[in-house]
A and B are shown apart, each in its own frame.
Chain A
Amino acid sequence: MSVARAREVNVRLRAAGITVHEWPGWETRGNGQTSAYEGALVHHTASPFDKALPGTGIGGVLVNGRPDLDGPLCNWACNVDGSVTVIAAHPANHAGASGGRSMGPLPVTSLFNKRVMGLEIVYPGTMPMKDAQYRTALRWSRIVTDVCGSSNIERARAHAETSITGKTDPADAPGRTINMTAFRRAAAIVGANPVEDEVTAAEVWGYKNPDVSPIGDAYKYLLEAYRIAGSARSEATNAKVAANQANVKLDALAAKIATLGEQIEFATAEAVANYLRANPPVVNMTVSPEDRAAIAAASAVATVDELKKEGN
């Protein structure tokens, strides 16, 4: 029951806008078990962000396995750009035994690999995955549970939830599994919708579904803060432009005033001179006897000097 379902998953992934790379031979690749898929399991590779494509190290490991563990190690790989690589239609060695802390409706069994399709998200697991990877993981989980799991999103689990050996994947910090409750709720809502390029993981977690995640309110406040900051920045820019324009006008006005002032001063001086010429001032001076004597003396000296010149 593998090939038809895996093909359908690919069709739906592509319909959701996700690029699907096909690793040659994926339709005949498996670990030797016969599939009885009824759910989805997400993992991290604990390797650098990368694309699992032919020629890459991580791709080779996921297809061929390790010296102590035969491949394939997953059914799909989720690449750093949000694309996926389909690696095996048939069961892969990714799930181990089940019976962990949160199985949901999935079975407790020693043969869990044949019961769940596995998505290896190619990232270290010591930090959050890329938004594009998160979006793709949501949609992949929704699609796989639609195709194989009676459209019950509870059939999408993290390896950390089903493992009996304490696995933590997929994680967003060392030893800390991502919030799978929020993941499933978001996958149920947006997982089958077409990809929206500008949607972030935080939006998927919270903004679009504020009732299901504590991030929701915080994100809304953050958006509001961004909106206010943007508005304030815009107003500040407008004010600066207006101030610059006002300064230019003031400079021009000051120049005009200076010119006008000069013209006024000249006109005023000329008018005053004309007036004085037409209306000579009558000066009444009070002269002290001493000054009068000094003036008379000076006048006498001047008169004597004048007479001397005439006499010469």
Chain B
Amino acid sequence: MLTYSRWSPVEKAYEVTAHVRAHLSSIATPDDDPDMFAADVDIVVVAEGNGIRITGSLDREPIAPYLRDDFDPEDDVAANPLSVPSIEDRS
């Protein structure tokens, strides 16, 4: 189960709700798709302070490679090398 919560002023409720849905959908998809599971997100809204707290939950699990037990940071470095010169190379 994925959960994600943001506080919002009332007038920004629509945008923040859309953000919560998109965020949870992106976590549950391999290519960070903000739409694929957006409709599946359950939204709960409660008053908090002078605004509202919008909490979404999605019955899925994150699938990012780096969250798997067999993830090797060196593989990530090899697959995504630095795009700027390292200061270590200059010295």
Contacts and interface: CB of A to CB of B under 8 A. Distances in A.
Contacts of B81: 4
B32 A33 contact: yes
Interface of B is mostly: mixed
Which 8 A/B pairs are nearest by Cβ-Cβ distance? Answer: A32-B62, A32-B27, A97-B19, A68-B5, A1-B80, A27-B73, A110-B22, A3-B76
Nearest to A31: B27
Given A33-B32, A33-B64, A97-B16, A69 B4 contact: yes
A146 B83 CA distance: 11
A169 B69 CA distance: 35
Nearest to A112: B19
Contact of B9 (A4, A28, A166): A166
Given A34-B32, A164-B16, 8 more contacts: A3-B80, A4-B77, A31-B62, A32-B64, A34-B31, A68-B53, A97-B15, A164-B15
A36 B63 CA distance: 17
A7 interface: yes
Contacts of A146: 84
14 contacts: A2-B80, A3-B73, A11-B87, A30-B64, A32-B28, A68-B5, A89-B66, A89-B73, A110-B23, A110-B34, A111-B34, A114-B32, A146-B84, A165-B8
Interface in A103-157: 110-111, 113-114, 146-147
A154 to B, nearest CB: 17
Interface residues of A, number: 37
A28 B34 contact: no
A283 B21 CA distance: 134
Interface of B: 2-9, 12, 15-16, 18-19, 22-23, 26-28, 31-32, 34, 51, 53, 55, 62-64, 66-67, 71, 73, 76-77, 80-84, 86-88
Interface in A1-51: 1-5, 7-8, 11-12, 15, 27-34
Nearest to A34: B32
